[in-house]
Structure 1
Amino acid sequence: MFMNFRRIHKCQCVRLLTTGLVLCMVMVCWEELDHHVVSHMRSYTYRYLVNSYDFLNSSFAITSKHQHGKDGADVGVVNYPYLINHPGKCGGVGGGDDVLLLLFVKSSPENFERRQAIRDTWGNESFAWSELGANVRVVFALGVHPDVGRRSGVQRALLREDQSYRDLIQQDFLDTFHNLTTKLILQFHWGHEYCPQARFLMSADDDIFVHMPNLVTYLRQLLSSQSGDKDLWVGHVHRGAPPIRRKESKYHVPDDLYPWPSYPDYTAGAGYVVSGDVAAKIYHATLVLNSSMYIDDVFMGICAKAMGVSPQGHVYFSGEGKAPYHPCIYDHMITSHGHATDVRLLWQEATDPAVYHRSRGFMGNLYCTAVRVMLLCRPYYQNTYSCMAAFT
C-alpha cells in the first residue's frame, strides 16, 4: 500500500489556510460578537430573573423643584408651540364625535409622497366610514425641517398641503431621530387635549402599511369582548431587549443615560395600538417622567411600566421587517413595515375581495396554513410575523 505524500501535504495546507482564515475572521468580529452575546445574556437574566424596574420611577421622574414654574404651570415637559393644528378634527375641543380610532402617522416634513399614498389607501377616512362604517381620524405628526437652508421652502409646501387636506399636526421642534420622543409626546398630548373620546389610539410610521379592514374588525372584536377597550397596548413586543452600547449604532444609548442591562418590555414603534384609558395613562406619565430617552418606543415602555401597563403581543403586528407578499398573509395582516414606495400596489392586492374567498372553507384554510408555514417558519426569518402566525 502506497501513500501519496504530496496529496497529504496539499490537504494539510488547505486545512491550515482554512483554519487561519476562520481564526482571523473570529478575531476581527469577536469584540462585536462578544458584546452582542454578553449584552443579551445580561438583559435576559435581568428581565426574567430579577424582573424589577422599580428604579424607573425614581430615576426618570422629574424632580419636584423643577415640576412647576412661578405661574404653577408644569415645566417638566417642554410645550412646543403648534405651527399647524386642527383642534376640531375629532369634533371640537373636548371631543364631540364618537371616534373608534385616532391614528397618528409619524412623518418627516419632506415625505409628501408617503403621506399622499397613505391618504389614498389605508389612511383614507372616507373609505373607513363608507366601506367599514368606522369613524377613523388620521393625522400626521411633524416637526420642522432640520436643514435651516431648506426649512422655509419646506414649511411653505407644508402649509399648502395642509390647506388641501387639513390633517397635519406640527410643533416647533426639529424633526430628527433624536426628537422622536418629542413627537411621541406630541401625539399623546394632542389626543388628550383634542380627541379624548377616541376608543383607541394608534401610532404608526409613514413607511408602514396598515390593513385597515382587518384592524377595524380586530378593534370591534375587542369592544365586544369581556375586557372591552380597557388596558390594551398591543403590537410587536420586544422583551428583555438590551441597550445598544456601540457608539457607531444609530440606536446607541450611553450608560449615563440608561445604565441598566435591560429595557422594560415595549412594542416596536413602527405600529402599535393603545386603548383610550392607556393613552390617558401614558399622557400623565409624560408629565412626570424625564424624556431624555430619545428612542421613542423605549420611552413608551418606560412610561407604560411606570403606570403599570404591560404590552400584549399580536402575531400580525410587524416589527422592523416587511411581511411576505401573499394573499394567505393578507387575510390576517394588520401591519407591515418598510413600505415607502409600494403602498398603493399592496393596498390594491391586500383588499381584493378574492383574498378572502381563497382562504375560506376547509381546503382553503389548509392551503393557506401550509403557505404560511413555508413563508413564516423559515430559519432566521424575523422582525415581522412569527411562525406562530402560520397557525392563527
Structure 2
Amino acid sequence: MFVNFRRIRKCQCVQLMTTCLVLSVVMVCWEQLDNSVVSHVKSYSYRYLVNRFSYINKSLTIPREQARSFSNFRYLLDHPDKCSGKDVLLLLFVKTSPENIERRNAIRSTWGNETYIQGALGVTVKVVFALGALQTNSEEPSWSKRSRVGFQAELIQEDRLHGDLIQQDFLDSFHNLTLKLIMQFRWTHSHCAHARFFMTADDDIFVHMPNLVSYLLDLSSRGITDFWIGRVHRGAPPIRSKDSKYYVSHEMYQWLSYPDYTAGAGYVVSGDVADKIYHATLTLNASIYIDDVFMGICANAIGVSPQEHVYFSGEGKAPYHWCIYERMMTSHGHVEDIHDLWEAATNPEVKQSASGLMGRLYCTAVKMALLCKPYSYNTYPCKAAFS
C-alpha cells in the first residue's frame, strides 16, 4: 500500500501548530478561567457539599459597640413622622446619589407617586430616597467646598418640596453602599416598624406598582412571615480579581462562597424580617461594601432564605412587550424611558388583552420567543414564560 510520507508530515505539522495555538490560548486565558470557572466550582462545592455558613456568622460577629460605628451617623435630612398614624402596606427605599435629581423626579411622577398609589390602588405605600453626603476635606480647594455646600442647599430645597429624602452624614459612594443599607433598616426600625413589607431598590429601576401591590396584598391576607423575595444568587463566589469593581480581599471575606442573596436592584422582605435584619446589623462586621451580599450575610445569621420570583429583575432590562408587562414586577436599567414604560405597562388594555385562553396562549408563545433564546441574558429566566 502506497503511503504519502509528505502528506503525513504535513498533517503532523498542522496538528503541532494547532496544539501550540490551543496551549497559547489556554495560557493567556488561564487567569480568567481560574477566576471564573474554578472559583465557581469551588463556590458551588462549598455551597452544596460543605454548606457550613455558620462559620461565616462567627467570623463576622463583632461587639455591639464596634458594630454601631457602621450606623452611628447623624441625619442631615430626616422625616421621622413619614409613616405615623398610617397603615403602611409597603415602605420603599430608593437608593440614590445626591446628584440624581432627575431620576428621583421621574420616580415621583410615575411608579413612586404616593398620591396615585393611594387613589388608584387604595393602599398606603411610602416612598423615600436614601442617600449619603457629598463631603469635603481639608485638602480640597475653597471653590470645591463652596460648590458642595451649594449642592447640599439644593438637596434641602428639594426635600422641602417633596419631603422624601433620608440622608446621613457619610460619603455617598459605591464603597459605602452597605452603610446606606444599614441606614435603611435602622430608619425602618425607628420610624416605620409597623409597615407590612419593606423594599429597597436602585434609582434606575422600574417597579410595576399595580402588580406589586396586588401581590403583596395577597401575601398580607395570608399572614406571610419570614418572607424575602427577589432575583436570587446562589453559590456566588467572592471576586478576587483586583481589576473588578466587586473585588473582595481574603482579609475582608475569607470564605469560598457567599450565602444566598438577592440582586440589589430590588427585593422585598416582610416587616418581621426587616426588624430581624436590623438587629443582625448590630452584631455583624459591615466592612464588606457589597450591600446585597451583606444582606445575605445578615439573613443567613437570622435563618431566613431568599425566594426566587421570576419577574423580579437582576441586572438587565425586561423586553418591551405587553405580555411581559402583564406579569412584570421590576425591571432594571431605566432612566430616559421610564415615563413611556410607565404609560405602556399600566395601560388597562394590557390585562384585558392577556386574559382568556387565547390571550394566555399567545402570551406564552411571545414570552418563550423573548425569554428562551440560547445564550440570552434578558432580565427574566425562560421559566417565566410558563408562569
Q: Scaled by the length of structure 1, what TM-score is found?
A: 0.91
**Deviation by residue 1:278-298 (Cα, 9 ceiling, x = unmatched):** 000000001111111111000
Distance 1:229 1:27, change over 3 A: same
SS of the residue corresponding to residue 282 of structure 2 reads: helix
| Amino acid in the other structure paired with 1:140 | F
| Amino acid in the other structure paired with 1:27 | M
What is the alpha-carbon distance in structure 2 between the residues aligned to residue 97 and residue 306 of structure 1? 31
**Deviation by residue 1:67-124 (Cα, 9 ceiling, x = unmatched):** 5xxxxxx845441000000111112xxxx21100000000000000000000010000
**Deviation by residue 1:37-77 (Cα, 9 ceiling, x = unmatched):** 1100010011011111111222111136x45xxxxxx8454
**Deviation by residue 1:4-50 (Cα, 9 ceiling, x = unmatched):** x9999999999887776555443322211122111000100110111
What is the alpha-carbon distance in structure 2 between the residues aligned to residue 338 and residue 9 of structure 1? 57
The match for 2:31 is 31
The match for 1:158 is 155
The match for 1:251 is 246
The match for 1:70 is none
Q: What is the CA-CA distance between 1:381 and the residue it aligns to? A: 2.1
The match for 1:118 is 107
Distance 1:146 1:12, change over 3 A: farther
Matches within 5 A, 1:1-392: 23-63=23-63, 66=65, 75-91=68-84, 96-145=85-134, 149=144, 150-225=147-222, 228-382=223-377, 384-392=379-387
| Amino acid in the other structure paired with 1:89 | K
Distance 1:27 1:56, change over 3 A: closer
| Amino acid in the other structure paired with 2:159 | D
- Contact 2:131 / 2:165 at 8 angstroms: preserved in 1? yes
- Contact 2:35 / 2:239 at 8 angstroms: preserved in 1? no
What is the alpha-carbon distance in structure 2 between the residues aligned to residue 146 and residue 206 of structure 1? 21
What is the alpha-carbon distance in structure 2 between the residues aligned to residue 341 and residue 7 of structure 1? 63
**Deviation by residue 1:137-188 (Cα, 9 ceiling, x = unmatched):** 0000000125762422321111111111110000000000110000000100
- Contact 1:234 / 1:272 at 8 angstroms: preserved in 2? yes
What is the alpha-carbon distance in structure 2 between the residues aligned to residue 382 and residue 259 of structure 1? 30
Deviates more, 1:241-250 or 1:316-325: 316-325
What is the alpha-carbon distance in structure 2 between the residues aligned to residue 14 and residue 358 of structure 1? 60
**Deviation by residue 1:183-239 (Cα, 9 ceiling, x = unmatched):** 0001000011011110000000001000000000110111123xx231111000000
**Deviation by residue 1:331-378 (Cα, 9 ceiling, x = unmatched):** 000001111221111111111112112111111100100111111111
What is the alpha-carbon distance in structure 2 between the residues aligned to residue 78 and residue 134 of structure 1? 31
What is the alpha-carbon distance in structure 2 between the residues aligned to residue 217 and residue 230 of structure 1? 17
Distance 1:113 1:8, change over 3 A: farther
Structure 1: tracts of 5 or more residues without a match: 68-73
Deviates more, 1:300-309 or 1:25-34: 25-34
| Amino acid in the other structure paired with 1:88 | D
| Amino acid in the other structure paired with 1:61 | T
What is the alpha-carbon distance in structure 1 between the residues aligned to residue 243 and residue 360 of structure 2? 46
Sequence identity of aligned pairs in percent?
65
| Amino acid in the other structure paired with 1:40 | H
What is the alpha-carbon distance in structure 2 between the residues aligned to residue 8 and residue 366 of structure 1? 59
Structure 2: tracts of 5 or more residues without a match: none
| Amino acid in the other structure paired with 1:133 | G
SS of the residue corresponding to residue 178 of structure 1 reads: helix
Root mean square deviation, CA, Å: 2.4
What is the alpha-carbon distance in structure 2 between the residues aligned to residue 218 and residue 60 of structure 1? 35
